[in-house]
A and B are shown apart, each in its own frame.
Chain A
Amino acid sequence: MAYSNKVLDHYNNPRNVGSLDKNDPNVGTGMVGAPECGDVMKLQLKVNPVTGIIEDAKFKTFGCGSAIASSSLATEWVKGKTVEEAMAIKNTDIVNELSLPPVKIHCSVLAEDAIKAAIADYKKKQANGAGASRPVTEAVS
C-alpha cells in the first residue's frame, strides 16, 4: 500500500509522543482499541482549569502507520483548543488531512474516539474532584 506524504511524515516524525501523569486531576486519559484488533491508542491531554484550553497533549499508539499518524495528528490538533472545540474534531477531518484510503478509515475513527475518551475522563475527574477517579478503560485488575 502506498502511504500519503503526510502519513509518512507523522510516522517518521511523530508529534507529541509520550505520557502525562494520569493521576493529575487536569489530565484526561483515553485509551481505545484492543491488541487483538491490531490497534490501541492512548491519548492524553492536559487542560488549564481556568481557561479550559488544552495546553498539552501526548499519545502512544500500537497500530499501523495510519493509526500512528492519526493519533499524532490528533494531538497536534487538540493543543490550543478548548475542550468543546476538541470535541468537535471529526474523524473525516483526519481522513481528509492524511488522505487515508477507505481501509484505513477505522484509524481515524479510533483517533476521534481517543480524543472523546480523554475528554470524558477529564470531565469525570473534574466532577469527582481532584484525582480520585481512574482513567477511562484503565486496567480493571
Chain B
Amino acid sequence: MKLPIYLDNHATTPLDPRVLEAMMPYLTTQFGNAASRNHSFGWAAEEAVEKARKQIADLIGASPKEIVFTSGATESDNLAIKGVAEMYAERGNHIITVATEHKAVLDTCKKLEKHGYRVTYLPVQPDGLIDLDMLRDAITDKTILISVMYANNEIGVLQPIAEIGKIAKEKGVLFHTDAVQAVGKVPVNVIRDNIDLMSISAHKIYGPKGVGALYVRRKNPRVQLTAQMDGGGHERGMRSGTLNVPGIVGLGKACEICQQEMPEEMARMARLRDRLKDKLLGSLDEVYINGSMERRLPNNLNVSFAFVEGESLLMGINDIAVSSGSACTSATLEPSYVLKALGKGDDLAHSSIRFGIGRFNTEEEIDYVGNRVVEVVNKLRELSPLWEMHKEGVDLSKVEWTAP
C-alpha cells in the first residue's frame, strides 16, 4: 500500500490508464482540427470526436447530436442556465434551483438576478433532499427553468430526479441537472428522467481535466440556447471554439468504461464505503452521517465527528487526502453552506469530513483510513474541552459562549 491515500474522488479523479491510452494519439500524431473539412488530419479528428459523442450519449440514453462539448461542467452549467434564460426571456423570468447546488449553478443564478431574473432557492430537508410539494408550489407561469443537481458533491445525496423531471414536463418548464457526480457512477437516463439539459464533467469519471459536455434535448421539446461563447459556430452554434480533441476522446473513453463496468463498480464502491462507515460508527460515539443514506451515491460518505474540528482532524490524518466542511479549510472562512442547509448547526459542519471513494481505492486502504481516523479522533477528543463537557453531562446548546 502506498501513502498518501487519495480519498477525495468528488474533487477530482485520477486519469484511468485506459483513457490516457485512448487520448495519446490525439496528443501526438493525430493533432488535426476537427473543423478542418478538407484533409485527412481534420477527418481523423472529427471521426474521433463523433465516436466520443456516441460513447457519451450511450451512457446517458441520449442521441449523439444532443451532446455539446464544453471546457467542463462549470461552463456547461453557465451555458445551460444563462442560455435558457436569454433564449426564453420572452416566455418568463423565473428560475427555480436549490440551496445546496454547486457554486457554478448558484453564482450563475445570482448573476441572472442582477439582470432582472427572479430565482427561487428551494431549501432541503434534513436528509438533503428537496420537498417535491415545495417545488410544485414554487412553479409559476413565469417559470422557465428548474435546475436541480443529480447528486450532491459534498453529501452525495441523489435528488428525486425522475419525479422532478415529471413535474417539469407536466408544467412545461425546462429541467436542467448538474449531473457531474452522478454520471458514470449511477445509472442516468435522460429519457427516463425527462431531463432537458444535463452537465457532465470528464475529470470526475477518471477522464482528463478541462473538458465536459452539456446534453441538450433535441425533441419533446427541442431545447434552444443562446450561445455564451461567440465565434466560429462550432457545436451547432451553441459553443464556439476549436474542439479539445484529446480531451473529448478521453471523456468518451471514460464514459465507455463507466458504462461497461458500472454494475460491478457500484457494488464495489458501496462495499468499501459501508466498510468504512461500519468501522467509524462501530469504533466511535457521537459520529453523525450527513445526508440520506438510502438515496446516496455508492462512493460517498460524509460524517461529522462531534467535538472535533475538521481541519485539525485533516492535519492528523495528513497521509490521507479527504476534505472537510470546516470553515478553516474553506477560502471564505465560512463552514460548508451545504451542511448548514441541512439545518444541523454550524458546529457539525465544522466537524465534518467528506470521504470520496474511487475506482482505484483498495480494501487495505479503506482499513488503514478507518483506523487512522479513529485514532486521531480519539486523540483530538482528549484535547477537546467540548468532549470533556459532553462527558460531564453539560448540554452544550445551553452554554453561553463568549463569541456567538
A: residues with CB less than 8 A from B are 3, 11, 14, 17, 19, 31-42, 60-65, 67-68, 103, 113, 117, 137, 139-141
Residues of A within 8 A of B335 (CB): 38
Q: Does B37 contact A (CB under 8 A)?
A: no
Known: A35-B401, A38-B328, A68-B312. A139 touches B394 (CB 8 A): yes
Inter-subunit contact B388/A64 (CB<8 Å): no
The closest CB in chain B to the CB of A110 belongs to B403
Q: Looking at the complex, which one of A63, A68, A137, A141 makes contact with B398 (CB distance below 8 Å)?
A: A141
| Set of chain A residues within 8 Å of B316, measured between Cβ atoms | 11
Contact of A35 with B396 at beta-carbon distance under 8 Å, contacts A3-B315, A64-B309 already known: yes
Among A3, A36, A41, A141, point to the contact of B385 (Cβ < 8 A). A41
When A38-B328, A60-B384, A65-B315 are in contact, do A32 and B394 touch as well, CB less than 8 Å?
A: no
In the complex, residue of chain B having the shortest beta-carbon distance to the beta carbon of A36: B346
Please measure, in the bound complex, the distance between the C-alpha atom of A64 and the C-alpha atom of B313, giving whole angstroms: 8
Chain B interfacial positions (CB closer than 8 Å to A): 307-309, 311-312, 315-316, 326-328, 333, 335, 345-347, 350, 382-389, 394-396, 398-404
Bound form: Cα–Cα A61–B350 in Å: 14
Report whether B399 and A139 are in contact in the complex, using a CB–CB cutoff of 8 Å: yes
Q: How far is the CB of B29 from chain A (nearest CB, A)?
A: 41
Residues of B within 8 A of A38 (CB): 309, 326-328, 335, 346-347, 350
Of chain A, the residue at the smallest CB distance from B400 is: A140
* A34 close to B383 (CB less than 8 A): no
Given known contacts A35-B346, A39-B403, A64-B312, what 9 new A-B pairs fall within 8 Å (CB)? A32-B403, A33-B403, A38-B335, A38-B346, A40-B401, A60-B385, A62-B386, A64-B315, A137-B400
Q: B318: shortest Cβ distance to chain A, in Å?
A: 9
| Residues of A with C-beta under 8 A to B394 | 139
Assuming A11-B315, A38-B350, A64-B328, is B402 touching A137 (CB within 8 A)?
yes
Chain A residue with Cβ nearest B347: A35
* A11-B315, A35-B347 known; A61+B398 contact, CB < 8 A: no
Residues of A within 8 Å of B312, CB to CB, are 11, 63-65, 67-68
CA A34 – CA B311 in complex, angstroms? Answer: 16
Instruction: Give the residues in chain A near B382, CB-CB below 8 Å.
Output: 17
B-chain residues with CB within 8 Å of residue A41 when the two chains form the complex: 385
Interface pairs (15), CB distance under 8 Å: A11-B312, A31-B385, A35-B350, A35-B386, A36-B345, A36-B346, A38-B326, A40-B386, A60-B385, A61-B383, A62-B309, A63-B328, A68-B312, A117-B402, A139-B398
Chain B residues near A36 (CB, 8 Å)? 345-347, 350, 404
- Tell me the smallest distance from the CB of B259 to a CB of chain A, in Å: 39
Which residue of the partner chain A has the closest CB to B333? A103
Given A61-B384, A62-B386, the answer on whether A39 and B398 have CB atoms closer than 8 Å is no
Find the B residue at minimum CB distance from A104. B328
Residues of A within 8 A of B404 (CB): 34, 36
Q: Which residues of B contact A63 (CB under 8 A)?
A: 309, 312, 328
Q: Is the CB of A31 within 8 A of B327?
A: no
A61 and B115 alpha carbons, distance in the complex (Å): 47
Closest B residue by C-beta to A71? B383
CB distance A62 to B328 under 8 Å?
no
The answer to whether A32 and B402 touch across the interface, beta carbons within 8 angstroms, is yes
CA distance A42 to B389 in the complex (A): 11
User: Nearest Cβ in chain A — how far from B386, in angstroms?
Assistant: 5
CA distance A103 to B228 in the complex (A): 37
**Residue numbers in B under 8 Å from A3 (CB-CB):** 315
Interface centre among A17, A34, A35, A37, by most B CB within 10 Å? A35
B200 to chain A, nearest CB (A): 32
Chain B residues with CB under 8 A of A35: 346-347, 350, 386, 396, 401
Residue numbers in B under 8 Å from A139 (CB-CB)? 389, 394-395, 398-400
